[in-house]
Amino acid sequence: MTQPINTWFVEHLGDCDIHSIWLNDHRPEHMPCLEIRRLDWAHAACEARRLGMRLVALWGAEAGCHDRDAHAMYAYMAFAHPEHRHTLLRTPLAAENPELPSISGHYIAACRMERHMQDMFGIHITDIPDPRPWIKHEHWPREAYPLRVDFDARPPLLAEAHGDYDYVRSGSEGVYEIPVGPVHAGIIEPGHFRFLAVGEHILNMEERLGYVHKGIERAMQSKSAEEGLKVASRISGDSTVAHAWAFAQACEYAGQIDVPRRASFIRAILCERERIANHIGDIGAVCNDAAFAFMLHQMHRLREDMARLHLELFGHRLLMNTLIPGGVLVDLGERAIGLLREQTLAIANEVEHLRAIYADHPSIQGRVIGSGMVPVEDAQDIGLLGYVGRASGHYPDERIEEAYAPYDELEVNVPQGKLGDVATRVWVRFEEIAESSRLISELLEKMPEGPIVANWLPPEPGVSGFAAIEGWRGEIAAWVRFGEGGQIDRCFVRDPSVINWLGLELAVREVPVPDFPLNNKSFNCSYSGNDL
Amino acid sequence: MLGILRQITRIGTITEPLAASDQFKVMGKRLESVIRNHFAGSLTIRAVDAGSCNGCELEIHATNNAYYDIERFGIHFTASPRFADMLLVTGPVSVNMRKALEMTYNATSDPKLVVAMGDCAVNCGVFGRDNYAIAGAVSDIIPVDVVIHGCPPTPTDIIRGILAAAEMR
Ligand code: SF4
């Protein structure tokens, strides 16, 4: 990693009388993790906002082996800036009745993460604008806090219905509600959407998620890095490479393991292939939702070609189980390199060809142009990530901001959209397919010789690491802390969907109800990644 | 429009003929006949994600692509359980999806075949049974006729599993 230590934010905090202490057991070392006082929490968020920083994530953890007060609980927040590396702040909370002020007033995306902390740890977030439970549905016992040490995680929670979720309502005449889900019409993940509509138009759409909550954060605990990686690969099955990479990199940073360059090249090739495959699938699905089935079948044909080559070269159609702590499992020989180069190029060419047909088809263009707009200011306010952000004038990209290997040697071109409608989101995806294909060719070209895995040695107890990887949906943030015997004692992951789901709610206001599916597909947020 | 036609003729039919592999040939023949004889020519499936990571869903989608073209056997996916002959359930059943799965099962018409697809659906997979958020494998919640192993199972495995369940009828 070439970037210098981010002292910039620390100095600013000092300038506004926010006292901070450097935590030394946090890695990577050039990414500061600072402890601040609890009374400065909201103030620090306010300053970060003023400095134009982006909120990456917010999470809680009980004290680890190194923490002074073994009974304290901690709240963490991570920030990013286009010109500086990420910075983490944390603050101690009382073990009894932990409380924390809300930062949702400064960062709207914080609210659901605060609700998650409230559900999982019982941390009371004072003045939170939306105090409703998030992951904990009505039948959960009220006092069950699954991420607390004293919670017995073994038996499933017993059903004990109490009350209903308090959806946003409208008392106005002529406004009707459409409840959709959790079991959706198509073959997609479950979640609930509550529409308020007037005539054909959506007035408000509210998301209720958490249906596929699988206790992933808890399941990670007391696993080795190798075992944890298997779970991380399944946080969201369509982003298996990106999630595995984020988790592995957080572990490797913690353990100060240098991943061989050849391994990081292979990781990047896998990740870019995953990006192409998902964009291809989604473009087809968006068109299909506007009854342009031709595109779906053409795109799915290409996706299948990719899956088959993945099976042949890496042993898995979706590329699961290809990463291991310290490197990758499968090396690429001459033949594999040739096949990958050839197929990636062929697919990119086919996509360009199909793109011309798509652009030349007024019936699909009429549906996508101008539908579901997210204005630039809103995208920045929310901090929208990936292609959703890039369609709306907000362009964070970890391949550039964090410039982790191998992207420190490559130039990544990020498509810069502005209009923020379905058409622009699709345009960004077409552009990204072309760019990823170019990157893959370059990676294959420049592939260094050498080993594909470094010896993995777990770090000392108490050490933690943080990584941010640009998956196909956008930035995935992972934080891992190790306990005794090389076991994970806390792992937090923030899928980009946690943030991008908010964009969908905003985009579909005033959209006709029948255009919702195509908007939804143009975002294609993950339910599983959100719910953990 | 011409572009579309040109593309269609250029790519041609890529659906793998049943003769492509012996296994597929036998399976396809059996599938066709069982669906013709027992399901009046069409088997309708409601896919339910009861907690999956979405990997299994990607492979269900793949059974619909032009290579496998599951529809040629008379199999299609429906939105409503009321029209469904079969539930194809993925994922460990999360505590938060348990009720929705039970309701879907109750709404399904006979013969109510249930296929538990993927290691998670079969035995909770990597997420584990000792997990507060997981109500159990699919068979812990509703009766299961056939299981399909794999994480995720390949499209061919899925089609084979569907055949096995249809033959139970
Ligand atoms: S079986 Fe594998 S692919 Fe399917 S839901 Fe479980 S983890 Fe995901």
Assembly ipTM: 0.92
pLDDT tens, residue by residue, A361-407: 888 898 899 899 999 999 999 999 999 999 999 899 999 988 898 99
Cross-chain residue pair B67–A237, CB shorter than 8 Å: no
C-alpha B127/C-alpha B140 separation (Å) is 15
Q: Mean of the pLDDT values across residues A300-318?
A: 95
pLDDT at position A268 over 90: yes
pLDDT for position B20 = 63
* Nearest CB to B131 within list A140, A153, A360: A153
Q: Is B161 within 8 Å of chain A by CB?
A: no
Q: What integer pLDDT is reported at residue A162 of this predicted model?
A: 72
Looking at chain B, the whole-number percentage of residues with pLDDT higher than 90 is 56
Q: How far is A189 from chain B (nearest CA, A)?
A: 6
pLDDT in tens, B110-166: 889 999 999 999 999 999 888 889 999 999 999 999 999 999 999 999 998 998 888
Instruction: Say whether residue B150 is in contact with chain A using an 8 A CB cutoff.
Output: no
Work out the minimum CA distance from A532 to partner chain B, whole angstroms: 9
pLDDT at A16: 85
The reply to whether B61 touches chain A by the CB within 8 Å rule is yes
Task: Tell me: pLDDT of A254 over 80.
Answer: yes
- Is the CB of A234 less than 8 angstroms away from the CB of B136? no
Nearest to A190 among B97, B130, B132 (CB): B97
Q: Is the pLDDT of residue B60 over 60?
A: yes
CA distance A158 to A161: 9
* DSSP character string of A233-295: TTSSGGGHHHHHHHHHHHHHHHHT----HHHHHHHHHHHHHHHHHHHHHHHHHHHHHTT-HHH
> Which of A134, A152, A212 has the highest number of chain B CBs within 10 A, making it the mutation to test binding with B?
A212
| A102 vs A125: CA distance, rounded Å | 6
Work out the pLDDT band at A5, boundaries 50, 70, 90: low
What is the pLDDT, as a whole number, of residue A144? 85
What is the spatial distance between Cα A157 and Cα A160, in angstroms, rounded to a whole number? 9
CB-nearest partner of B55 from A185, A230, A237 = A237
Is A149 one of the annotated binding-site residues? no
Domains and CATH numbers, chain A: 8-126 (3.30.460.80), 219-369+403-408+429-495 (1.10.645.10)
Q: Which of A12-16, A451-455, A484-488, B67-71 has the lowest mean pLDDT?
A: A12-16
At residue A76, does pLDDT exceed 70? yes
pLDDT at A1: 43
Question: Mean of the pLDDT values across residues A228-256?
Answer: 95
Q: What is the mean pLDDT of residues A450-477?
A: 93
* Distance linking the first and last C-alpha atoms of chain A: 30
The identity of residue A489, as a single letter, is D
Q: Is A480 annotated as a binding residue?
A: no
Per-residue pLDDT at A220: 93
Q: Looking at CA atoms only, how far is residue A159 from chain B in angstroms?
A: 8
Per-residue pLDDT averaged across A12-37, rounded?
85
Residues of B in contact with A140 (CB under 8 A): 95
Residues B1-14: pLDDT tens digits? 788 888 888 888 88
CA dihedral B143, B148, B154, B157 (to 10 degrees): -100
> Residue A15's pLDDT is what?
85
- Residue B22: what pLDDT? 66
Of A181-185, A356-360, B81-85, minimum mean pLDDT range:
A181-185
- What percent of chain B clears pLDDT 70, i.e. is strictly above it? 96
Pull the structure tokens for residue B121. 């659906």
Q: Which residues of chain B have a CB within 8 Å of the CB of A159?
A: 98-99
- pLDDT tens, residue by residue, A115-172: 999 999 999 999 999 999 899 888 888 788 988 888 877 777 766 677 788 888 888 8
Put simply, the answer to whether A237 touches B132 (Cβ < 8 Å) is: no
Instruction: Find the range with the poorest average confidence among A23-32, A141-150, A156-165, A517-526.
Output: A156-165
- Which has the minimum average pLDDT: A287-301, B20-34, B103-117, B135-149? B20-34
Q: What pLDDT is stored for residue A2 in this prediction?
A: 47
What is the spatial distance between Cα A317 and Cα A297, in angstroms, rounded to a whole number?
19
pLDDT: which is higher, A181 or A462: A462
Q: How confident is the model at residue A85 (pLDDT cuts 50, 70, 90)?
A: confident
Residues in chain B within 8 Å Cβ distance of A236: 53-54
* pLDDT higher at A31 or B44: B44
Q: What's the mean pLDDT when you consider all of chain A?
A: 91
Cβ–Cβ under 8 Å, residues A303 and B58:
no
- Which of the four pLDDT bands, split at 50, 70 and 90, describes residue B18? low
- Chain B CB contacts of A155 under 8 Å are 132
Domain boundaries, chain B: 41-168
DSSP string computed for B94-132: ETTTHHHHHHHHHHSPTT-EEEEESHHHHH-GGG-SS-T
Name residues contacting ligand 1 (CB within 6 A). Answer: A 234, 237; B 52-53, 55-56, 90-91, 118-120, 125-126, 151-152
Instruction: Give me the mean pLDDT over the A422-431 stretch.
Output: 95
* Distance from Cα A122 to the centre of ligand 1, integer Å: 30
Q: Cβ separation of B52 and A528 shorter than 8 Å?
A: yes
Residue B21's pLDDT band (boundaries 50, 70, 90)? low
Q: Which of A7-21, B84-98, B101-115 has the lowest mean pLDDT?
A: A7-21
Where does residue B23 rank: exposed (0-12), middle (13-18), buried (19+ CB within 10 A)?
exposed
Chain A contact for B85 (CB, 8 A cutoff): no
Q: Which atom from ligand 1 is nearest to the alpha carbon of B127?
A: 7
A-B C-beta contacts closer than 8 Å: 164
B86 within 8 A of B44, measured Cβ to Cβ: yes
pLDDT of A141 reads: 83
Task: Please tell me the distance in Å from B5's CA to the nearest CA on chain A.
Answer: 10
Residue contact B95–A212, C-beta within 8 A: no
> For A448, what's the count of Cα atoms within 13 Å in the CB-facing half-sphere?
13
Residue A261 and residue A405 in contact, taking contact as beta carbons nearer than 8 Å:
yes
For B41-168, CATH gives 3.40.50.12280
